[in-house]
Structure 1
Amino acid sequence: MTLRDLARRSFMIGGSLFVVAGFWLLHNGRLTLNASHSLPEPAYLMWAWPKVIWKGAVISADPPAAYAARFDGLLFTKRVVGLPGDRIEHRDGAVCVAGECYPLALKDGAPFAPALAEGVIPDGHYAAFGSSADSLDSRYATVGLFARETIRAVGVGTTLVPHWKELKAWADAHGY
């Protein structure tokens, strides 16, 4: 095999991999902008397949039934802190998952909603929280655990994209 043949084959293989990766990304990938302060990153690189969910992954899921009408057409984007088999406990006004505790938001001196029930996270369910105490997430019973079938995408946070408010300010300043 000559150097030219090797270069040609390498180019064909590299190009084919690039095309396959591009089609996968177009079909399964999405960029989710952060619309709240419940997570620190301004955006998330998400994919719909494969749905490999790990502790620390960011998920986008259908809104829980209690909030479906209020958040119609939107997805809840939270970070996974509890996997199936992890234990949920209550300590000092906080919900603890696998030993890590997350405080409940208070309204008039009491938690604004009932805490998630203590127990073990069942198969096919995940505890996902925001990073702020007032995040509407799994620490509250009205949200609960996220079932695998309600999770639409999995991903990671990125700071490569500015926060949507910065993008809007730029667009407004330029007349868009």
Structure 2
Amino acid sequence: MSENTKSSSGGLWENIKVLIQALLLALVIRTFLFQPFSIPSGSMMSTLLVGDYLFVSKFSYGYSKYSFPFSPNLFSGRIWSSDPERGDVAVFRLPSDPSVDYIKRVIGLPGDRIQMRDGVLYINGEAVPREQVGTYEPEGRYERGEPVPVYQETLPNGVTYNTLDLSPNSPGDNTREFVVPDGHYFMMGDNRDNSSDSRFTVGYVPLENFVGRATYIFFSIADDASPLEIWKWPTDLRLDRFFKSAQK
């Protein structure tokens, strides 16, 4: 074998090793540290929009079987567990179908009593302070042709965020009182009148089903655009959303 052939063969093997190492590193980061997610619906508008891509911290709440690819049944419950806090925007597995990821805001903690009355959120019998702070005009597939009222809520622990009020009398504006069981959480979307959440079919979410806490938006593009159409980026990218907090 000539020296040139040996050199070429050695260089190829080195490139393969570098590629394998990079893939393993990416797998470790995705499994234990941060996992990318994209927003598929408008249930968290205006905090999160369709076309937002964000990182979710896998270590914020510890690890369960849902933290890992293919959800291997290696153990039950969570290890190195840390409880979600009221107001966190979190990704979790749908209790009725754990193959499906949902993203909502933590509203009710274990033992809480949660109820909606005339569009106002009540926690343990106390109304959550709510004031209108402006309006919002949905874009793309959610465009309405008129601005939507935006309300700021302040939870008992001081966390503030905005919610949308698409309709003054929607099915989720008046509910029964929900009592959150031990080890479970009550999740709601910020787009209160267009969110399938714990008020409806989602139900209470077990701690085991949490995947992680949303951190930062790293990429955002108009909801009717494709990220692969790079030539359209100059008009479709939402640069003002890059590196924005995914919490509010």
User: Do the two structures share a fold, i.e. TM-score over 0.5?
Assistant: yes
Separation in 1, partners of 2:95, 2:174: 15
Separation in 1, partners of 2:118, 2:220: 37
The answer to whether the 8 A contact 1:34-1:163 is kept is: no
Percent identity between matched residues is: 24
Out of 204, 212, 215, the position equivalent to 1:154 is 212
Out of 14, 33, 57, the position equivalent to 2:88 is 57
3-state secondary structure, aligned to 2:85: coil
Separation in 1, partners of 2:36, 2:222: 12
The answer to whether the 8 A contact 2:35-2:56 is kept is: yes
1:111-122 equivalences under 5 Å are 111=171, 115=175, 117-122=176-181
Could you tell me which runs of 5 or more consecutive residues in structure 2 were left unpaired when the two chains were aligned: 1-24, 62-81, 131-162, 233-248
Question: Residue 202 of structure 2 aligns with which residue?
Answer: 143
3-state secondary structure, aligned to 2:91: strand
Structure 1 105/137 Cα, relative in aligned 2: closer, same or farther at 3 Å? farther
Question: Residue 16 of structure 1 aligns with which residue?
Answer: none
Amino acid in the other structure paired with 1:61: F
Length-normalised TM-score, structure 1 = 0.62
Deviation at residue 136 of structure 1 after TM alignment = 0.8
Separation in 2, partners of 1:166, 1:31: 20
Deviation at residue 26 of structure 1 after TM alignment = 3.6
3-state secondary structure, aligned to 2:229: helix
Q: What are the Cα deviations for residues 121-175 of structure 1, in whole angstroms up to 9, with x where unaligned?
A: 222111111111211111x242212111222x1212423321473761x523549
Separation in 1, partners of 2:173, 2:201: 7
Deviation at residue 30 of structure 1 after TM alignment = 0.1
Separation in 1, partners of 2:178, 2:189: 20
3-state secondary structure, aligned to 1:160: strand
The answer to whether the 8 A contact 2:57-2:215 is kept is: no
Length-normalised TM-score, structure 2 = 0.46
RMSD: 3.6
Structure 1 62/148 Cα, relative in aligned 2: closer, same or farther at 3 Å? same
Question: Residue 187 of structure 2 aligns with which residue?
Answer: 128
Amino acid in the other structure paired with 2:109: L
Q: Which consecutive aligned stretches of 4+ in structure 1 deviate over 6 angstroms post-superposition?
A: 101-106
3-state secondary structure, aligned to 2:208: helix
Q: What are the Cα deviations for residues 35-89 of structure 1, in whole angstroms up to 9, with x where unaligned?
A: 1122223233213335131122222222242xx4xxx843111111221232213
1:17-166 equivalences under 5 Å are 25-28=29-32, 29-39=34-44, 40-41=47-48, 42-51=52-61, 52=82, 53-65=84-96, 68=97, 73-92=99-118, 95-98=121-124, 99-100=127-128, 111=171, 115=175, 117-133=176-192, 134-138=194-198, 140-151=199-210, 153-163=211-221, 165=223
Amino acid in the other structure paired with 2:206: A
Separation in 2, partners of 1:145, 1:104: 23
Could you tell me which runs of 5 or more consecutive residues in structure 1 were left unpaired when the two chains were aligned: 1-20
Structure 1 120/105 Cα, relative in aligned 2: closer, same or farther at 3 Å? farther
